[in-house]
Structure 1
């Protein structure tokens, strides 16, 4: 079964999975196979009959907040494998928790913000 997704802006969204599969989500809409759906939503694509967003409006999906919540949950947990030897979140574990690929720079920036907020509070 396929589901139609649209780019929330006038620009197409390029989706690349770690498996090497790629897709492009156009403003007009395209049908996506299930393997692309989670990453498409993470990048702000509109699914189904959602109304197109207004130019400049923020997408409904807040990627940073999802990653922040996942890192907080990892820090509250007892699983030492959630973190690397340097104390930073393990990317594979973090990506599995959020359901989409998180890169090192993005994870580190959010982790540093959380560490600063924790040390101040």
Structure 2
């Protein structure tokens, strides 16, 4: 699948396995192992016609993936999934979501979940 950088600057994607890739503004074909992290860093999928994917759909997909990971943590019994102050452990959340999550993202989605319950 091909991805492009959301800006004119190349986007660097690195995995915890040590693999790296650079996504250009023109578009770069990426190995499937990079797809999740590329999207998490803001890369835009490019369809076969060369048009960029719907950014809103990407953001929603990311939001839902984080929400699912947080629900898994909430429904689990591992006390290490949360910090001493009750916030989601970002290392555990990253592991469950499959991509890096910022503290701001985690806290905002966690607050959403707390309102529902």
TM, length-normalised to structure 2: 0.72
Helix, strand or coil: the match of 1:58? helix
TM superposition shift of 1:113: 1.2
Q: Does 1:31 align with 2:22?
A: no
Query: Unpaired runs of 5+ in structure 2?
Result: none
Q: Deviations over 1:80-121 (max 9, x none)?
A: 111111111100000011111001111011111111221xxx
Q: In the aligned structure 1, how far is the partner of 2:55 from the partner of 2:82?
A: 35
Q: Does 1:5 align with 2:19?
A: no
Q: In the aligned structure 2, how far is the partner of 1:86 from the partner of 1:18?
A: 29
Query: Unpaired runs of 5+ in structure 1?
Result: none
Q: Does 1:82 align with 2:65?
A: no
TM superposition shift of 1:8: 7.8
2:15/2:34 contact within 8 Å kept: no
Name the structure where helix makes up a greater proportion of residues: 2
Aligned ranges 1:77-116 → 2 under 5 Å = 77-116=76-115
Q: Which residue of 1 aligns with 2:11?
A: 14
Q: In the aligned structure 2, how far is the partner of 1:79 from the partner of 1:5?
A: 38
TM, length-normalised to structure 1: 0.70
Q: In the aligned structure 1, how far is the partner of 2:114 from the partner of 2:74?
A: 10
Q: In the aligned structure 2, how far is the partner of 1:107 from the partner of 1:18?
A: 20
For residues 53 and 40 of structure 1, do their structure 2 counterparts lie closer, same or farther at Cα, with a shift above 3 Å needed?
A: same
